[in-house]
Chain A
Amino acid sequence: MSNGDRPSERDWVETPGILGGGAEWLRGEGPSSEVVLSSRVRLARNLAGFPFVARADRTEREHVLEAVRPVVDGLTPGVARSSGSSGSGGPGGSGDHMSWIALHDSEPPERQLLVERHLISKQHADGTSAGDGAAAPGVRNCSGLSSPRAVAVSLPTERLSIMVNEEDHLRVQVLRTGLDLGGALAAIDAVDDALEATLDFAYSPRFGYLTCCPTNVGTGARLSVMLHLPGLRLTGEIDKVKRAADSMSLAIRGFYGEGSEASGDFYQLSNQTTLGRSEKVLLHEMEHEIVPQVIDYERLARERLLKHSRLMIEDRCARALGLLRHARLLSAEEAMKALSQVRLGVVSGLIRDVDLRRVHELMLLTQPAHLQRLAGRPLDQQERRSARADLARERLTAAERGDSGPADAGG
């Protein structure tokens, strides 16, 4: 049962495959994918008998890792639960296995790569997710980069990831392309049961699953969708959506989650409350009431724009594509904005020689750590701008010629 023929985690992070494959949200398929990039469910779980991470010293955090690792290694993410209700398959792809990465032993570029792929939070990368140690003055030298913590990722699809010793002992997330919160919830439910078959989770009848921060207590579940809302931004209605979300206790965050700015009109919409409503009710609210409404608004906005301001939209999309195909220096923000415009052009049928997957791929590959991985060396800011422009030019002109392009995804 040990490593066997599995590639070690370092092999994976260093494999060229990571630059094209994996990342479920890249696929650009699934229901409502013209507006919804991906659906994500995460569960917060803690082990009974241990202090929460914020108050655990180094030894206790190591014990958590030791307790969790064999259970996670034993998961078979490609296999559906036999009694599974929705028959939507396992949480991972059929050939998936779990790969464990000890973050306290990892290099900064590796961690950054995982952040850019939405597999760990920025805080988990930095080791600051459990506060700054203020909650436990007796616990010194334990927050920060050397804090014992890990992530397990289902490879090669990356649909399932489990952060260990983030703010909670376990933060499990399942990702699905397009709008499929139901599929993601069913899959994560199976993972949760598989974990709980061995691990004792902290739970109380009254408060449910107990979490380090009381804002997550109860189901410990957060359901979120990554939305692309360029239409609503152009018509100036995005603030209305934000206000509506606020009044419904939903959070709107940027592309990289908590604390990040909306970049290129990508917004992450998620529930805030976890106590008092069951997972099913929450799922229904999100998937059948709230998200479809936002999707409809966005579709309507796009229709109106195409009807009344078609030339303006065509111009924006064409300029964005031109920029990506011809620029010699591109900042991250500039690239993201242009890719957002191109995405709108592709899904609206205004741009026909670029496919959605290529756009998504560039959204990921033009991030700093990915650029450096492609280059095989550290790049300063100016070098990154140049490398970013080169990459976009190469990938998008290849698309124009109808090539499948270099280093395409295997997976």
Chain B
Amino acid sequence: MSVHPICECGEREATYHEVVKVNGVVHERHLCEVCAAERGLIQGPIGAPDTDLDTDLTPDLTSGAGPSVSQEPYQGSDAEGEDSEPGGAFGSGAPSGSASGPKPQPTGGGGERRRGGCPRCGLTFAAFKRSGLLGCPECYKTFEKQLTPLLERAHEGGARHTGKAPARALRLSRDRGQGIEDVLGDARERAERIRGLRRQMAAAVEGEQFERAARLRDEIARRLESDGGDALDIEHRDTTGDAADE
């Protein structure tokens, strides 16, 4: 066994090790259990122990050729739930304000569609890890926390959709006077997306990829226009350092 490095917090031994390749550059990250759980990289300790809850959250999304990640599974034996989210990742805590979707209704009587998984389709995270396939659109919400680091690895740091939005859905949500939150996300979401684009543009300029930078600039302009301004407001607040917490 090799000696474990110390976590970024400088306090504990790092047991979570991650190697990510972004644009050909290798980034390493070594965290202790507590920090890793805080960042949603591993399942944090949750109040009621559920034997179905899985702690080693590393399905190999990229099957083989992708970035390699090694980590030691968290055993979940101590530190009762101080850092856990209200309700826990598998609890009822649905994101606020989501207009869509009826109440979770386990369809069919199979024992598999049970508590502990996605409230909509019943898929457990353990089952996802085995197959690499999710069960339904709702799973993205249910497992958002666990999926986020996996998505960043699989998509070279990309964590947020930037691109086409369904045209009719967008039009409808505007017609209904609901604004564009349903489709493009709330102001914070949109601002984050634009920040991401700005970062990409800066990187393109740095790499003297000016054509790409110009394209990104156009895309930013287009998005700011369609966003109508509130995303911009938030962005200014954020960049001046007095962003309000949500």
Contacts and interface: CB of A to CB of B under 8 A. Distances in A.
Nearest to B214: A284
A170 to B, nearest CB: 13
A273 B155 contact: yes
Contacts of A46: 137
Contacts, number: 184
A63 interface: no
A207 B212 contact: no
B160 A136 contact: no
Given A131-B131, A215-B62, 16 more contacts: A52-B137, A134-B131, A135-B131, A167-B133, A204-B140, A205-B161, A205-B181, A205-B183, A205-B185, A208-B164, A212-B134, A217-B151, A219-B161, A221-B163, A276-B157, A279-B163
Interface in A98-148: 130-131, 134-138
B154 A273 contact: yes
Contacts of B127: 134-135
A164 to B, nearest CB: 17
A296 interface: no
Contacts of A50: 136
Contacts of A54: 131, 133-135
A278 B185 contact: no
Interface string B165-184: 11111000000000001111
B108 A57 contact: yes
A129 to B, nearest CB: 10
A289 interface: yes
Interface of B: 21, 23-24, 61-62, 65, 100, 108, 110-113, 120-121, 123, 127-128, 130-137, 140-141, 144, 147, 150-151, 154-169, 181-186, 189-190, 196, 200, 209, 211-212, 215-216, 219
Contact of B212 (A135, A204, A285): A285
Lowest 5 CB-CB distances: which A-B pairs, in order? A276-B158, A205-B185, A208-B161, A138-B110, A202-B137
A55 B121 contact: yes
A206 interface: yes
12 contacts: A51-B120, A57-B108, A134-B127, A135-B131, A138-B108, A205-B182, A215-B155, A217-B140, A275-B159, A277-B163, A278-B164, A284-B212
B136 A275 contact: no
A207 B168 CA distance: 18
- Classify chain A: how many residues form its interface, as a range: 35 or more
Interface string A186-219: 0001001100110011111111111011110111
Contacts of B110: 137-138
A271 to B, nearest CB: 10
A311 interface: no
A1 interface: no
Contact of B113 (A138, A196, A215, A221): A138
Contact of B159 (A131, A276, A280): A276
A288 B24 CA distance: 20
A275 B168 contact: no
A407 interface: no
A206 B158 CA distance: 11
Contacts of A215: 61-62, 132, 154-155
A83 to B, nearest CB: 11
Contacts of B160: 206-207, 275-276
